[in-house]
Structure 1
Amino acid sequence: MSKRILWPVVVLLLAACATLAGPGFDKLFGPADPTRFDARPAGPAVGVYAQAIQPILDRRCVVCHACNDAPCQFKATSWEGIARGASKAPVYDATRLLAAPPSRLYVDADKASQWRELGFFPVLNEHAVQTPEANKTAGLIHRLLALKQDHPLPTGGVVGGGLDFSLERTASCPAGEEIDRYERTVPMGGMPFGLPGLGKAEHDTLTRWLAEGAPAAAPPAPSALALQRVAQWERFFNGDSLKEQLFSRYAYEHLFLAHLWFDDDPQRQFFKLVRSETPPGEPVRIVRSRRPVDSPGVDRVYYRIVPELETIVDKTHMPYALSARRMDRWRELFLDPPYTVARLPGYEAQDAANPFSTFAALPVNARYRFMLEEAEFTIMGFIKGPVCRGQMALDVIRDHFWVVFVAPEKRFDEPLSALLARDANLLRLPTGSSNTNMLVPWVQYARLENEYLKSRSQVLAGALGKRLKLDLNLIWNGDGRNDNAALTIFRHYDSASVVKGMVGDTPRTAWVIGYPLLERIHYLLVADYDVYGNIGHQLNSRMYMDFLRMEGEFNFIALLPRAQREATRDAWYRGDSKSTREQVYGGPGTTLPAESAVRYKTADARHELMDQLKARLGPVLDTRLDLGLNAPPALRAPLRELAAISGVSLQWLPEVTLLVIDTPGGPVSTYTMLRNTAHASVSHLLERKELRPEEDTLTVVPGVVGSYPNAFYRLDAAQLPALAEAIRRLGSEADYTDFAKRWSVRRTDRAFWAVSDDVISRYLAAQPLEAGVLDYNRLENR
């Protein structure tokens, strides 16, 4: 063939390849208009969004695409989240050397076009041609939904196709025409990712909506009653006196993550407390600071209450009631007492790092009561706040422990107030900035912590010398009515949960938390923590938390007989150096000289102390998760038998399993099975070598605990003994694969969505205030 003939053939072949690859969206549908979705578009289906579209998104998309750990930062929790689109930059990045720009929906940009300037790409068709075919072809949501329809999962076994479900995976995040290559190279990667496709009716409904251009009406306005309450609380939070302004700053820095609701509002709509440049009565203009402790950049900041516009998801849901009684209580604590605020503190880094200095003018007892009387919410901040995600952030705590609190006591509060006023510098945190040198200040902060613990021990010893005994009267009893007096924390490897009550069998450890410790936990891991911060900021937050855990443990050990304190401490820190173990006491040579006044009858004082704490707090303990009180009589014995399993066979189980149990002649019910992984110590960043599978235990509770289920097991009530026996026999990963074939509702199961919908519906019905949509990013594929 001559060159003259060959060249046209090559050109034709290249043209054919280009055709196969598909012309660019700009050539097909005209240039993109980033302002296309700056406002909710109209259309024939504008009124169906809230009733038909968002419910489908909640059940099928929000279960993976919500919060900071949404893949590709795509949030399906509201129309504005969809209009914002997606990003190739992850929020959680433990390797970045410099802090990243924040990308908070409804905060860091107002319109889709502004998100484009911040690097987000559209998932809807923003091109000039807005025909149904163009909206489907150039709309990434439709392309990914259609890909799943064309390449469904197998109907059994595990998901193949080279899909990676680990949290550490690098997300593909195809943008624009990149979707063509993604469809060719990852055909099994349609949405919902690694889960069954949508049913025909759901798929058709979303397809019609997307083809029409994703129309949506404005969200409904709050009720007249809710607006009235908003106005009342905004007046309360925006008083002009320095005392009122300082209190409101303190309240905001503790409530900025809360889902606020009004106790007399029958609709129970949720709201958020924000900082605004504008006063009540004017449109809210949110202060876009990185953290709530950072400067607002205006002379006077106002605290405003705005509706929560996103779907409520369990992993970030922190409900907090506002009521007339609470307003009166805060007036009693902060506004009525006769003290003076001479000036308002600033917002420099040293202020962010030290709340004891910033709020020194507010009474210590009032600050403690503010946090203590809603202790579950306070602790929930570091469980469900931005710090929560990832094994590095959570390997500082054990898998199961109880938390109780030091009782407010005037004879101790007064010298403690003097200590905080005198030595506030000792309590400053290493997270004053989002960009922090990695470990450079570590020795300095260890010294400061040790000096504080020595000073605190002297204060406590002085108080104990004034007819204040080291006994159980030091433990807050909830004032005889408050069920926040005792909490249980469960860690699930790279997530965690906190619940009221003393749940499960007696754990190996417990924390006793007083005001300085509670405040530092909140500021270190919630108010000061910047999820967009650099590696130094994140790592120092994690490592300083070692000190705070040890402090809580020290407070518990102090109630033991002096002869048993060291042995108990060493059992919690097996394999650690002497200096690490001594840190529990505040460094070498620091001890608490006073003998415990708690009366013991056995040689196992640790276990006996746990029992005595449980007995003391019995009148106020929340018992909703007690199997003996809340499981049907026919299920109590087999569920207790299941919960009694311990040892090496448990290492093959997932961390959080939801048991869907069908009782003949009765309702289907949900129970949560939690694997408590034992550790020799939790003082190391690399924990794998510290595991002690022979000491693993199970906790089984009614309902749902944990925002991230790893597995669903479905069984008849009569099969519970067989399930327990099968767990006891697990000895390898291969054993678990066979086990899962019988018990697990896998990702590929035809009934997966039916089971999921049933569990979430019952959860929302049983706990309408606390429940939210669960997250499936940690669902196993075994």
Structure 2
Amino acid sequence: MTPWYKSSLTGRALIILSSALLSAVLLYRSLWPTPSVEHGTLNVDLVLSSLQLDKPVLFDQEVRPVLERRCVVCHGCYDAPCQLKLSSIEGLQRGASNEPVYNPARISPMQPTRLFVDAASTAEWRTRGFYPVLNENGRSPGNNLENSVLYHLLQLKQQHPQPESGRLPDSFTLELNREQTCPKLGSIQDFSRDHPLWGMPYAMPNLPEQEYRTLVSWLAQGAPAPAPPGPSAGLLPRVEKWERFLNRRSNRQQLVSRYLYEHLYHAHIHFDGSPPGEFYRLVRSTSPPGQAIDEIPTVRPYDDPGAAPFYYRLLRYHPSIVVKNHIVYTFSPQRLERYRELFLEPDYEVSTLPSYRPELASNPFRTFIDLPLKSRYRFLLDDARFFIEGFVKGPVCRDQVALSVIEDRFWVLFFDPEQKVFTNDASFIGAMADDLQLPADRRSTLNLLSIWTDYWQRQRRYMASKQALFEKINTHDIRHAMSFIWDGDGDNPNAALTVFRHFDSGSVAWGLVGAAPETTWIIDYPLFERIHYLLVAGFNVYGNVVHQVNTRIYMDFLRMEGEDHFLVFLPAERRKAIRDAWYTGLRTGVEKFFSSPQDWLQVESVRGYRTDQPQQELYRYIAARIAAVAPLQEAMNRCGSR
């Protein structure tokens, strides 16, 4: 009988093939261990990425899109866990830190850690407590992965995938002020054992296989970094033109440039007609135009830049864009001409430039007293949404200090700069300048009582002076009184804004969005300027607890002032009841402790209301006043309000 294994060529071939496959599997398993926390997955991942290792993985074209889709929303701002900024290659190279930026109980101010500003190199960040998440020792692909914290966190997620159904396990900590766990390379194995589900992306679905391979391939190649981009082709002459304008040496131009810088330092500046994703920051530099920019790292834009000459420069901003801190301001030929019209054509003298002493520099009403007040107010009104966004959004990112003060939704309007009201009067504002001082002049003081003993008393004196003038005004028909509200000059949509609060962030929309809100602010020049200098220019996210509290309380003063301006347009007999309805719950204590002079509530300033619902009637008059620039939005939410 013929042996079974000789019965056919097919059988023999099958045996040979099976033996070969078995040998290959055994050899593979001996060389490439089964993935596990104990053995790692270094070799497996090198196999997965082998097709990429001989082809450079480009950061901007391949890695950045993955980070933007899956990582930057959490790791793109001051509130990035462990201060690990994944919005740029420089953030990855800087690495992570155990020290949180947000610490409401901080007694002493924290040393600032602003990426691109407070250290000039990765080595300098190491001296300031940041540790690497990329390999900084060795050149081989194996070392690049084995010595990368970022790789181990990505690998951990692949080993322990996110559950695809049901609630997240209780082991995840997602609280806003949760205690951070920031593993270093030496502790990554303990971290993996103790928190097997805490790989990256944390508490989110796994990366798709191709995106995972892209990141691992790039890490294995040593995380190659592109050079920082400069101005795009054809834009450099426009950048140079703006720098020449800002750095003219006359006293008038230097004061104007200082004013512009202190209001635009936080902007993402876009040149009209340039590529849509190209933005710049206005900075102060020790180096003049034409040389590499050497930014002066002051905490606030009005801090002393030092004795040496400095220059205003436009620095390309290349990190990924995140909504939290993306506040766009456009430079164009029309903008430049507008600046000349506002600040250079009027006839005024700047005999002496103001100093940078904190008590002076933190008070814009003293620092810029020589600039025409109407020009300053017009500058703010031209782009009111941008400046309101500064405190609603802004680089602080997690903004409970400002946003805990405001309603979930309210409207913002402005006094007309052409009307003869006392807050448009430069002599009145100049006389009140000391009483308009902001608490930022004391930096991170430990004197919590100063907000009551000093700044509230200043605010009371200012409000009392306003009240004395208010008592002398004539009574206006409500339709005529609408002329005191700015209508955008017929073509500027910034005349009316709607602010939305989203817990610790916010947004600003043009127009009157939604149904009539409970409250509305009407902002005049001194209120507008103080909002910016309190919550944007003067706010230090690295400051201590007293700075945070004083800022929060003073913002209550400003909010109440804006709301009181709205009440002025209502019948005197209804004002107190409406105001009392606003100050309920937690607000009751605020109104009790910080009640400004109240006599103005009884001063009749308007007449001619036709219904017994004056607040709703006032909203209709306002909507008609600004209809040309702010047509009613969300009409379906306004049923019965017309």
* TM-score scaled by length of structure 2: 0.87
Asked if structure 1 preserves the Cα contact closer than 8 Å seen for 2:498 and 2:513, the reply is yes
CA separation in 2, counterparts of 1:566 and 1:111? 58
The equivalent residue for 1:371 is 380
Question: In structure 2, what residue type is equivalent to 1:439?
Answer: L
Question: In structure 2, what residue type is equivalent to 1:135?
Answer: N
187-196 or 350-359, larger mean C-alpha shift: 350-359
After superposition, residues 41-60 of structure 1 pair within 5 angstroms as 48-60=58-70
CA separation in 2, counterparts of 1:93 and 1:489? 26
Question: In structure 2, what residue type is equivalent to 1:611?
Answer: R
Question: In structure 2, what residue type is equivalent to 1:151?
Answer: H
The equivalent residue for 2:572 is 562
Question: In structure 2, what residue type is equivalent to 1:147?
Answer: L
**Alignment partner of 2:516 out of 499, 506, 510:** 506
Question: In structure 1, what residue type is equivalent to 2:222?
Answer: G
Asked if structure 1 preserves the Cα contact closer than 8 Å seen for 2:83 and 2:96, the reply is yes
Does 2:444 match 1:435? yes
**Residues 590, 44 of structure 1: alpha-carbon distance in 2 compared, 3 angstrom cutoff:** farther
The Cα offsets for residues 273-327 of structure 1, whole Å up to 9 and x where unpaired, read as 0011122122211011111110001343211001112111111000111111111
The equivalent residue for 2:584 is 574
Question: Highest Rg: 1 or 2?
Answer: 2
In the TM superposition, what is the alpha-carbon distance from 1:391 to its structure 2 partner? 3.7
Does 2:208 match 1:193? no
The equivalent residue for 2:614 is 605
Aligned residue for 1:618, secondary structure, equals coil
**Residues 438, 414 of structure 1: alpha-carbon distance in 2 compared, 3 angstrom cutoff:** closer
Asked if structure 2 preserves the Cα contact closer than 8 Å seen for 1:387 and 1:525, the reply is no
Asked if structure 1 preserves the Cα contact closer than 8 Å seen for 2:470 and 2:600, the reply is no
CA separation in 2, counterparts of 1:467 and 1:426? 32
The equivalent residue for 2:352 is 343
Question: In structure 1, what residue type is equivalent to 2:335?
Answer: R
After superposition, residues 519-538 of structure 1 pair within 5 angstroms as 519-538=529-548
Question: In structure 2, what residue type is equivalent to 1:422?
Answer: A
In the TM superposition, what is the alpha-carbon distance from 1:479 to its structure 2 partner? 0.3
**Alignment partner of 2:363 out of 340, 351, 354:** 354
After superposition, residues 200-279 of structure 1 pair within 5 angstroms as 200-267=209-276, 269-279=278-288
The equivalent residue for 2:150 is 141
**Residues 267, 607 of structure 1: alpha-carbon distance in 2 compared, 3 angstrom cutoff:** closer
**Residues 392, 236 of structure 1: alpha-carbon distance in 2 compared, 3 angstrom cutoff:** closer
Aligned residues: 590
**Residues 179, 133 of structure 1: alpha-carbon distance in 2 compared, 3 angstrom cutoff:** same
Does 2:503 match 1:493? yes
CA separation in 1, counterparts of 2:623 and 2:253? 39
Does 2:386 match 1:385? no
**Alignment partner of 1:98 out of 99, 108, 132:** 108
Aligned residue for 1:606, secondary structure, equals helix
In the TM superposition, what is the alpha-carbon distance from 1:511 to its structure 2 partner? 0.4
The equivalent residue for 2:552 is 542
Asked if structure 2 preserves the Cα contact closer than 8 Å seen for 1:382 and 1:522, the reply is yes
After superposition, residues 388-407 of structure 1 pair within 5 angstroms as 389-407=398-416
Asked if structure 2 preserves the Cα contact closer than 8 Å seen for 1:407 and 1:474, the reply is yes
Question: In structure 1, what residue type is equivalent to 2:604?
Answer: E
Does 2:619 match 1:621? no
CA separation in 1, counterparts of 2:434 and 2:106? 29
CA separation in 2, counterparts of 1:152 and 1:313? 27
CA separation in 1, counterparts of 2:292 and 2:397? 33
**Residues 44, 50 of structure 1: alpha-carbon distance in 2 compared, 3 angstrom cutoff:** farther
The equivalent residue for 2:123 is 113
Question: In structure 2, what residue type is equivalent to 1:214?
Answer: A
Aligned residue for 2:411, secondary structure, equals strand
**Residues 304, 467 of structure 1: alpha-carbon distance in 2 compared, 3 angstrom cutoff:** farther
Question: In structure 2, what residue type is equivalent to 1:49?
Answer: F
After superposition, residues 314-353 of structure 1 pair within 5 angstroms as 314-353=323-362
CA separation in 2, counterparts of 1:484 and 1:552? 17
The Cα offsets for residues 411-454 of structure 1, whole Å up to 9 and x where unpaired, read as 22687311121121000011114312242212221111011012
In the TM superposition, what is the alpha-carbon distance from 1:47 to its structure 2 partner? 6.3
Question: In structure 2, what residue type is equivalent to 1:599?
Answer: G
In the TM superposition, what is the alpha-carbon distance from 1:594 to its structure 2 partner? 4.1
In the TM superposition, what is the alpha-carbon distance from 1:354 to its structure 2 partner? 1.2
Question: In structure 2, what residue type is equivalent to 1:224?
Answer: A
The Cα offsets for residues 363-413 of structure 1, whole Å up to 9 and x where unpaired, read as 111111111110000000101124552545422111111000000025226
**Residues 415, 585 of structure 1: alpha-carbon distance in 2 compared, 3 angstrom cutoff:** farther
Percentage identity across aligned positions? 44
Aligned residue for 2:257, secondary structure, equals helix
Question: In structure 2, what residue type is equivalent to 1:606?
Answer: Q
Unmatched 5+ stretches in structure 2: 1-36, 41-52
**Alignment partner of 1:477 out of 481, 487, 501:** 487
Question: In structure 1, what residue type is equivalent to 2:109?
Answer: A
437-446 or 408-417, larger mean C-alpha shift: 408-417
Asked if structure 2 preserves the Cα contact closer than 8 Å seen for 1:419 and 1:456, the reply is no
CA separation in 2, counterparts of 1:463 and 1:562? 14
CA separation in 1, counterparts of 2:286 and 2:620? 52
CA separation in 1, counterparts of 2:229 and 2:546? 43
Does 2:161 match 1:152? yes
Asked if structure 1 preserves the Cα contact closer than 8 Å seen for 2:229 and 2:316, the reply is no
The Cα offsets for residues 623-653 of structure 1, whole Å up to 9 and x where unpaired, read as 6xx445xxxxxxx8xxx6xx99xxxxxxxxx
CA separation in 1, counterparts of 2:423 and 2:168? 61
The Cα offsets for residues 578-604 of structure 1, whole Å up to 9 and x where unpaired, read as 8954778723x5315542335322111
Asked if structure 2 preserves the Cα contact closer than 8 Å seen for 1:276 and 1:285, the reply is yes
In the TM superposition, what is the alpha-carbon distance from 1:526 to its structure 2 partner? 0.3
Question: In structure 1, what residue type is equivalent to 2:507?
Answer: S
The Cα offsets for residues 44-94 of structure 1, whole Å up to 9 and x where unpaired, read as 655621111111111111121011010110011111110000111111111
494-503 or 265-274, larger mean C-alpha shift: 265-274
Asked if structure 2 preserves the Cα contact closer than 8 Å seen for 1:84 and 1:115, the reply is yes
Asked if structure 2 preserves the Cα contact closer than 8 Å seen for 1:360 and 1:421, the reply is yes
Does 2:287 match 1:284? no
In the TM superposition, what is the alpha-carbon distance from 1:461 to its structure 2 partner? 4.6
Does 2:425 match 1:416? yes
Aligned residue for 2:600, secondary structure, equals coil
Aligned residue for 2:312, secondary structure, equals strand
The equivalent residue for 1:780 is none
CA separation in 2, counterparts of 1:380 and 1:556? 21
CA separation in 2, counterparts of 1:220 and 1:284? 13
CA separation in 2, counterparts of 1:576 and 1:211? 55
CA separation in 2, counterparts of 1:425 and 1:536? 22
The equivalent residue for 2:462 is 452
The Cα offsets for residues 193-222 of structure 1, whole Å up to 9 and x where unpaired, read as 000111000001111110010012224432
Aligned residue for 1:498, secondary structure, equals strand
In the TM superposition, what is the alpha-carbon distance from 1:470 to its structure 2 partner? 7.5
**Residues 584, 481 of structure 1: alpha-carbon distance in 2 compared, 3 angstrom cutoff:** farther
CA separation in 1, counterparts of 2:55 and 2:352? 55
**Alignment partner of 1:72 out of 45, 69, 82:** 82
Asked if structure 1 preserves the Cα contact closer than 8 Å seen for 2:444 and 2:544, the reply is yes
The Cα offsets for residues 127-176 of structure 1, whole Å up to 9 and x where unpaired, read as 2x322122111101110011001001111122115111111101101112
In the TM superposition, what is the alpha-carbon distance from 1:467 to its structure 2 partner? 12
Asked if structure 2 preserves the Cα contact closer than 8 Å seen for 1:72 and 1:87, the reply is yes
In the TM superposition, what is the alpha-carbon distance from 1:469 to its structure 2 partner? 9.5
After superposition, residues 725-740 of structure 1 pair within 5 angstroms as none
Asked if structure 2 preserves the Cα contact closer than 8 Å seen for 1:470 and 1:597, the reply is no
